[in-house]
Structure 1
Amino acid sequence: MSDEKADEKAMTEHTGQGAGDGLRVLLADDHPVVREGLCAILESADGITVVGQAGSGEEAVALAARLNPDIVLLDLRMGDMDGVAATGHILRQCPGCKVVIVTTYESDADILRAVEAGAAGYLLKGSTRAELVSAVRGAARGETVLTPSLAGKLVRARTVDAPPLSERECEVLRLVSQGLTNAEIGRKLFIGEATVKTHLLRAYRKLDVTDRTAAAITAFERGLL
């Protein structure tokens, strides 16, 4: 097959009977054999239809805009636009879509980048058929799906990348989680209300959040409280 014909075949969409039934999935990988394998696995599962295939990140973004699939399975490393960048574009134009990264790379940094971009999951290409199908269905239900061996890596990556909270910031957030107001926290810790606000603002920056509730929840999820 010539390069020109290969390029024409890289970006395809399925419009046959049944394409609107069940979960609609878009596949994106720069290796045709991988796309074909993923397609065969998913098409053999009840209630899942592959509505399109893309050979690059840019093609995935274009197809997602046109097809508005329920789930997009994205390779992490593609030449023109990687899976993380494509995830951001897809979620901005298709807010209801869920993106799951499927890759051979399992570094802590890669996993964290994908999840922070909004990906609903991160799977290794060595995952079993059952894990792949389960991940697609789980992502559609709003779950975060990870290859089991990667869960610990994600926790470690979040912990290492996040600046540590001070002891006082942790104290303030513990009291926030108990429902206390800033004034009540100040009285309990024998500090001014303005000082409480300062500790909260510093915690917001470190945790990359914008309000006190999100700060308390995030700190708890990261095992800081």
Structure 2
Amino acid sequence: MKLKLVVIDDHPLVRQGLILALSSEPSFEIVGEAGTVRQSFEVLQRTRPDIAIVDLRLGDSSGLAIIEEAKLKQSGCKFIILTSSGSERDFLYAEQLEVSGYILKEALPDEIIHAVRIIGQGRKYYDPRILEIKMKGETVLNEELTPREREVLAALGRGLSNRDIASQIYVSENTVKKHVSQILAKLNLGDRTQAALYAYSKGMVRDCL
């Protein structure tokens, strides 16, 4: 039985190149393509693919919006993010959405085909270069954050307010705010929600204050 695939990318040449490469594999069937978020929703609903390969950046939109919507609709489709971004933050968001694959666009066609095969078997595939970035990020976390900042970050991951954190580690709320600001700056995160997701992805939520 062939795997039904959809390719979503806003660059026609990239999209057609992917389709050409994937079509060379006899066990794959390309059932649709799209270049925008709106087109993507229509194609996914109409074709019901097994796997969708989604560009992370779709013009001014994000491919993650497609995955979020599909998850809400309890779609059985598995998603592979294909991107030129090596950002750990982008990978973190995709990981939180439980994507089945994350591949850099510099990957060779054989690597993408291999990834699709693996994901079709119910496993996950993350680009080795992304895993290296993730490991480096964990090293930076350990080296740059102070023990107190790691403690506060773990608390953010548990959803605690500044007041609750202050009460548990016996400091003022202003001190907690300063710690939070330092954490966001060091990890290049936009807000405490992103910090909470980061802490969760690193397994810090299990940490107790």
What TM bracket, shorter-length normalisation? 0.5 to 0.7
Distance 1:165 1:105, change over 3 A: same
> Cα offset for 1:117?
2.0
> Cα offset for 1:219?
5.2
Is the CA contact (8 Å cut-off) linking 1:112 and 1:158 kept in structure 2? no
User: What is the aligned partner in structure 1 of residue 83 from structure 2?
Assistant: 103
Give the TM-score normalised by structure 1: 0.61
Is the CA contact (8 Å cut-off) linking 1:108 and 1:157 kept in structure 2? yes
Distance 1:142 1:158, change over 3 A: farther
Aligned to 1:69, which of 49, 64, 74? 49
Equivalent-residue separation in structure 2 for 1:151 and 1:107 (angstroms): 11
User: What is the aligned partner in structure 2 of residue 90 from structure 1?
Assistant: 70
1:36 maps to 2:22: no
> Cα offset for 1:36?
0.6
Q: Which has the higher contact order (CA 8 A, sep 6+)?
A: 2
AA of the residue aligned to 1:164: R
Aligned to 2:108, which of 110, 128, 134? 128
The percent identity for this pair of structures is 30
Equivalent-residue separation in structure 2 for 1:158 and 1:99 (angstroms): 25
Equivalent-residue separation in structure 1 for 2:60 and 2:37 (angstroms): 7
> Cα offset for 1:57?
1.9
> Cα offset for 1:148?
0.9
Q: 5+ unaligned residues in a row in structure 2: which ranges?
A: 156-167, 169-192
> Cα offset for 1:85?
1.1
User: What is the aligned partner in structure 2 of residue 17 from structure 1?
Assistant: none
User: What is the aligned partner in structure 2 of residue 16 from structure 1?
Assistant: none
1:151 maps to 2:131: yes
What secondary structure does 1:45 align onto?
A: coil
Q: 5+ unaligned residues in a row in structure 1: which ranges?
A: 1-20, 170-197, 199-204, 209-214
> Cα offset for 1:144?
2.1
Is the CA contact (8 Å cut-off) linking 1:25 and 1:71 kept in structure 2? yes
> Cα offset for 1:157?
4.9
1:191-224, CA deviations, whole angstroms, 9 ceiling, x for partnerless residues? xxxxxxx9xxxxxx9976xxxxxx9x9459x9xx
Equivalent-residue separation in structure 2 for 1:155 and 1:68 (angstroms): 35
Distance 1:90 1:127, change over 3 A: same
1:164 maps to 2:144: no
Q: Which has the larger radius of gyration?
A: 1
Equivalent-residue separation in structure 2 for 1:113 and 1:59 (angstroms): 22
What secondary structure does 2:106 align onto?
A: coil
1:115-168, CA deviations, whole angstroms, 9 ceiling, x for partnerless residues? 2122111111111111101111112222221111111323455784x97358xx
1:7-65, CA deviations, whole angstroms, 9 ceiling, x for partnerless residues? xxxxxxxxxxxxxx410000000011111100011110120011000011221122112
Is the CA contact (8 Å cut-off) linking 1:68 and 1:94 kept in structure 2? no
Equivalent-residue separation in structure 2 for 1:59 and 1:165 (angstroms): 44
AA of the residue aligned to 1:64: L
RMSD: 3.4
User: What is the aligned partner in structure 2 of residue 116 from structure 1?
Assistant: 96
